[in-house]
Amino acid sequence: MRFATELVAWVATPWVLAGHSWLLAVLSVLVLVGLPTLFSTPGDKTAVLIAVPGWVTILLVLLQLAAAAVSSWLAWPAWAAVLVSLLAAATLVTEQRRWRWLVSSQ
């Protein structure tokens, strides 16, 4: 569920921002894809470029969830935004076990 929500964020956010500035659209992809690639908690991913505590990884996931939900409401019809919002809410529930582990791994 997390990956599906991330995909939505990667598509919907630049879609919304492209109407304002192509530079913002590109920057949004760099932030949404680049930050989680660079910063990760040891043990959560096999390849860690820059090690960060678990709470940073959680904040990065929350950024993705918020970007997906907000951008879907701005970019797409209401029925699609409702589905994305439900997906984001379900992801919040399914991520709880992982988040507990991330916080305890510090």
For the chain, the average pLDDT equals 95
pLDDT for res 106: 64
The answer to whether residues 51 and 41 touch, using CB atoms and an 8 Å cutoff, is: yes
Cα-Cα end-to-end distance for the chain = 25
- pLDDT tens for each residue of 37-87: 999 999 998 889 999 999 999 999 999 999 999 999 999 999 999 999 999
Residue 21, pLDDT > 70, answer: yes
% pLDDT > 90, the chain? 95
The pTM of this model reads: 0.93
pLDDT of 17 over the 80 cut: yes
